[in-house]
């Protein structure tokens, strides 16, 4: 039986290791789904919103490094993919988006659901084409996959309705899949130069981003040999364990005070896998060495004294062989003392007794999660105050850490938790979400129920868009437009076919989370948290304090 264009597309995706496609069927995309029905080499995962499918593809790609694939029908289905695709673009996750389109004869006629998809996807894509002839499919499908993987970005292929049904033309050539080489290292001269700079530095520090993932052992060998403290970006949390003696915590508004001290006082900073954008937190007078796999990232945001283009793991391994071994300096010991004091402060704040008439401290929830989840659980953190408390109060070991880092999109947590469960079904998968972010895509909790994925969703339910409330107040503006009216999320879980837990007292938190983690169905833990708990930065500026005071007076006086 002769193969169709859709059959060939399926073959190419299998060659590139694709195992799942996330999306919703629809008129113009149905011809692409027919081979998936007949051929079970790739599993189709039906979601309830295309944005969920795109987020799942992005999170799957972030978690595995493999190609994530999502699809949507012409017009609204394709449009709904965009937010999740921008998450993939900005976090450099390889994703392929497949979209339907109106019939060839109707292109350009303002037909029902016709949208110029190539123009729509132009900014989000590294490869963006429409298949209009059966002879194109082998090459275009292969190039779309290769480009997404090589450039770590989004590829898009659009199919007018009848094209997937055409008989494939050409020899049916099989393409050898060549993945991007990940073992490239800078030339020896540059490595020696970097090692010499590190040796001469009295107060070197490492800033590790998400690009350092997968290189933990090499990073620790370098840090331990030269006694270099390690600071992480928010997306880089988990690159090294929070409990390592040289780990100082995160940088930025959600970071830790000892990390800020290290960046202020260092005389050399080695950036690994990050083009950190917040210049106010970077050292002002230190030498900067930047290591990144992509040359275009070197010096992208700040002056760099030495750039190293290469993969993190082999480059750090080579650097560790070249730097001199030395004992911890008085400066490092001082930072370690400050780190212990900071942890004691954070833990004391989290574990303070809750007044019975007040909602639960959100720090307590993150602290309990840290103690109850498995050491290798995958964590999907939504954007908002839930991210603040998890970044500060969750002690990471070998856990997975998934965030919408550069797009910072609410709604990411639930889809990412489902994607992590697919990628590593043997591990616990936990979504830590605010009520605002969760309600954006909470309808897809039924997707976890449908496919029997026992994920746990912990909702920090403060009945506020809490981060926005704080941002308004810190700029002197009274809270406005942030109050939320929520359903009972525990009852929603039960109605959807999962299990729900409603928590209103501090002493109930631990038992509810434990039961949810050990259930064999998807669960939601709805925890009533305090909306007035402030996500304060490690150091508060005078302007921030003044702005918050002004907002407090206005709110109090009703002006």
Average pLDDT of the chain?
Answer: 93
The pLDDT value given to residue 169: 80
Q: Does 457 score more than 70 pLDDT?
A: yes
DSSP string, 198-259: HHH-SSEEEEE-GGGTT-HHHHHHHHHHHT--EEE-STTTTSS-TTSTTEEEE-STTS-HHH
Q: Give the architecture-level CATH label for domain 5-165.
A: 3-Layer(aba) Sandwich (3.40)
Q: Does 379 score more than 80 pLDDT?
A: yes
Q: Does 535 score more than 90 pLDDT?
A: no
CATH code at 352-557: 3.40.50.970
Q: Give the architecture-level CATH label for domain 188-337.
A: 3-Layer(aba) Sandwich (3.40)
* Average pLDDT of span 346-371: 89
User: How many residues are there in the chain?
Assistant: 559
pLDDT tens-digit series, residues 136-178? 999 999 999 999 999 999 999 999 999 999 999 865 555 566 5
pLDDT tens-digit series, residues 267-305? 999 999 998 888 889 999 999 999 998 888 999 888 899
Q: Are 47 and 416 in contact (CB under 8 A)?
A: no
Q: Does 542 score more than 60 pLDDT?
A: no
Residues of the chain with CATH 3.40.50.1220: 188-337
Residues of the chain with CATH 3.40.50.970: 5-165, 352-557
Selection from 203, 544, 538 nearest residue 339 by Cα: 538
Q: Are 471 and 536 in contact (CB under 8 A)?
A: no
The two tokens of residue 169 are 């033309």
The two tokens of residue 540 are 């508060």
For residue 155, with 0-12 CB atoms within 10 Å meaning exposed, 13-18 middle and 19 or more buried, which class applies?
Answer: buried
């Amino acid at each position: 039986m002769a193969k169709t264009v859709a059959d060939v597309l399926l073959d190419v995706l299998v060659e590139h290791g694709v195992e799942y496609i996330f999306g919703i069927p629809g008129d113009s995309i149905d011809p692409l789904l027919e081979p998936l029905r007949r051929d079970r080499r790739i599993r189709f995962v039906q979601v309830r919103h295309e944005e969920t499918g795109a987020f799942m593809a992005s999170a799957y790609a972030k978690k595995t490094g493999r190609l994530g694939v999502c699809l949507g029908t012409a017009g609204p289905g394709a449009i709904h993919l965009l937010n999740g695709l921008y998450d993939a673009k900005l976090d450099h996750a390889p994703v392929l988006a497949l979209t339907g389109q109106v019939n060839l004869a109707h292109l350009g006629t303002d037909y029902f659901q016709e949208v110029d998809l190539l123009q729509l996807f132009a900014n989000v894509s590294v490869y963006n084409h429409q298949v209009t002839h059966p002879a194109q499919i082998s090459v275009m499908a292969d190039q779309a996959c290769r480009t997404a993987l090589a450039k770590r970005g989004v590829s898009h292929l659009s199919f007018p309705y009848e094209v997937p049904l055409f008989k494939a033309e050409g020899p049916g050539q099989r393409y050898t899949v060549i993945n991007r080489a990940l073992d490239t290292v800078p030339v020896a001269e540059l490595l020696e130069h970097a090692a010499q700079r590190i040796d001469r530095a009295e107060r070197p520090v490492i800033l590790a981003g998400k690009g350092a993932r997968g290189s933990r052992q090499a990073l620790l060998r370098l840090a331990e040999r030269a006694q270099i403290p390690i600071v992480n970006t928010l997306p880089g949390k988990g690159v090294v364990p929070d409990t390592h003696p040289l780990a100082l915590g995160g940088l930025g508004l959600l970071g830790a005070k000892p990390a800020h001290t290290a960046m202020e006082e260092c005389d050399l900073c080695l950036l690994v896998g990050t083009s950190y954008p917040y210049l106010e937190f970077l050292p002002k007078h230190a030498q900067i060495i930047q290591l990144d796999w992509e040359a275009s990232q070197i010096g992208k945001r700040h002056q760099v004294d030495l750039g190293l283009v290469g993969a993190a793991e082999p480059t750090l391994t080579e650097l560790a062989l070249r730097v001199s071994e030395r004992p911890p300096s008085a400066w490092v010991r001082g930072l370690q003392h400050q780190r212990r004091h900071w942890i004691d402060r954070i833990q004391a704040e989290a574990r303070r007794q809750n007044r019975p008439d007040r909602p639960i401290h959100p720090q307590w929830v993150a602290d309990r999660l840290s103690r109850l989840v498995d050491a290798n659980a995958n964590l999907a953190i939504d954007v908002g105050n839930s991210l603040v408390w998890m970044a500060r109060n969750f002690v990471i070991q070998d856990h997975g850490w998934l965030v919408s880092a550069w797009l910072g999109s609410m709604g990411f947590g639930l889809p990412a938790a489902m994607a992590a469960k697919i990628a590593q079904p043997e591990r616990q998968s936990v979504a830590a979400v605010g009520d605002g972010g969760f309600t954006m895509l909470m309808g897809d909790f039924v997707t976890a129920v449908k496919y029997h994925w026992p994920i746990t969703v912990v909702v920090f339910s403060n009945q506020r868009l809490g981060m926005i409330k704080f941002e308004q107040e810190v700029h002197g503006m009274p809270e406005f437009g942030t109050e939320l009216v929520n359903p009972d999320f525990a009852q929603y879980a039960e109605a959807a076919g999962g299990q729900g837990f409603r928590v209103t007292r501090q002493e109930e938190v631990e038992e509810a989370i434990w039961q949810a983690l050990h259930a064999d169905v998807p669960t939601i833990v709805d925890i009533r948290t305090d909306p007035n708990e402030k996500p304060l930065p490690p150091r508060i500026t005078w302007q921030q304090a003044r702005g918050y005071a002004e907002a407090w007076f206005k709110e109090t006086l009703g002006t």
